[in-house]
Amino acid sequence: MRSTLRAVDSRDPSELPQPPLTERAPLLVWVLTAALIFVCATWSILTPPLLAPDETSHLSSVLRVANDLSWPDPGEARIPEYVTLLSDEWEEAPSERSILSDLATQYPNASDRVDQMTQHPPLYYVIAAGVVNVFDAQDWRWDQAVLLARLLGAVLASPLVWLAWSATRTLTRSRKAGIVAAMGIFVVPGFAQMLGVTNNDTFAILMGSIVAWLSIKILCGDRRRSVLLGLGIAFGITGLAKGTLLAYGVLVVLALIFGARHPRAWPQRLWQATWPLLVSLVFGQWWWIRNIVLFGTLQPYGYLLSDTTWAPGTGPSILDFIDEMWRVTSATFWGWFGRVNAPLPQILVDFATVTCVVLVVTGLLRRKNTLRTAAILASPIVVSAILMLRVSWGAYAETTEYRGLHGRYFYPFIVLGLALAALAISNIVRERSARVALGLGTIAASVFMAFFGLAVSGIYFYGDDLWAQWRGALTNWIFHSSSLPAGTTIVIAGLACALLIAGAVMSVRAILVSPEDREQREFAG
pLDDT tens-place string over residues 203-238: 999 999 999 999 999 999 999 999 999 999 999 999
Mean pLDDT calculated for residue range 356-376:
91
Supply the pLDDT for residue 306: 66
**Domain-located, residue 279:** yes
Element (DSSP H or E) covering residue 80:
strand 78-80
CB 180 within 8 A of CB 63: no
**Domain-located, residue 273:** yes
Running DSSP on this structure, what letter comes out for residue 429?
Answer: -
- pTM equals 0.93
For residue 408, is pLDDT > 90? yes
For residue 19, is pLDDT > 90? no
When comparing pLDDT for 461 and 521, which is higher?
Answer: 461
For residue 165, is pLDDT > 60? yes
**Domain-located, residue 215:** yes
Give me the count of residues in the chain.
525
Q: Which residues pair with 110 in a beta bridge?
A: 80
Please count the structural domains in the chain: 1
For residue 524, is pLDDT > 70? no
When comparing pLDDT for 1 and 267, which is higher?
Answer: 267
Mean pLDDT calculated for residue range 72-94:
92
Tell me how far apart the alpha carbons of residues 172 and 424 are, in angstroms, rounded to a whole number: 10
**Domain-located, residue 274:** yes
Supply the pLDDT for residue 311: 84
**Domain-located, residue 226:** yes
pLDDT tens-place string over residues 94-109: 999 999 999 999 999 9
Q: Single out the residue of 214, 208, 197 nearest to residue 57, CA to CA.
A: 197
For residue 10, is pLDDT > 60? no
Task: Give the C-alpha distances (Å, rounded to integers) separating 261 from 16, 20, 94, 257, 419.
Answer: 11, 16, 58, 10, 21
User: What is the pLDDT confidence band of residue 431, given thresholds at 50, 70 and 90?
Assistant: confident
CB 162 within 8 A of CB 29: yes
Supply the pLDDT for residue 402: 86
pLDDT tens-place string over residues 137-162: 999 999 999 999 999 999 999 999 99
Mean pLDDT calculated for residue range 410-430:
93
What is the 3-state secondary structure of 16-79? CCCCCCCCCCCHHHHHHHHHHHHHHHHHHHHCCCCCCCCHHHHHHHHHHHHHHCCCCCCCCCEE
pLDDT tens-place string over residues 257-270: 998 888 888 888 99
Supply the pLDDT for residue 321: 92
**Domain-located, residue 5:** no
Tell me how far apart the alpha carbons of residues 116 and 442 are, in angstroms, rounded to a whole number: 38
Range of the domain at 280: 201-304
For residue 8, is pLDDT > 60? no
For residue 13, is pLDDT > 90? no
pLDDT tens-place string over residues 179-203: 999 999 999 999 999 999 999 999 9
Q: Single out the residue of 437, 525, 501 nearest to residue 175, CA to CA.
A: 525
Share of the chain above pLDDT 90, in %: 77
Supply the pLDDT for residue 16: 54
**Domain-located, residue 357:** no
Supply the pLDDT for residue 115: 94
User: What is the pLDDT confidence band of residue 394, given thresholds at 50, 70 and 90?
Assistant: confident
When comparing pLDDT for 315 and 382, which is higher?
Answer: 382
Task: Return mean pLDDT, the chain.
Answer: 90
Running DSSP on this structure, what letter comes out for residue 6?
Answer: P
**Domain-located, residue 54:** no
Most confident of 37-41, 392-396, 406-410: 37-41
pLDDT tens-place string over residues 25-54: 899 999 999 999 999 999 999 999 999 999
Pairing of strands 78-80, 110-114: antiparallel
Share of the chain above pLDDT 70, in %: 93
Task: Give the C-alpha distances (Å, rounded to integers) separating 140 from 51, 53, 124, 164, 180.
Answer: 19, 23, 21, 36, 41
Mean pLDDT calculated for residue range 454-466:
93
Supply the pLDDT for residue 338: 85
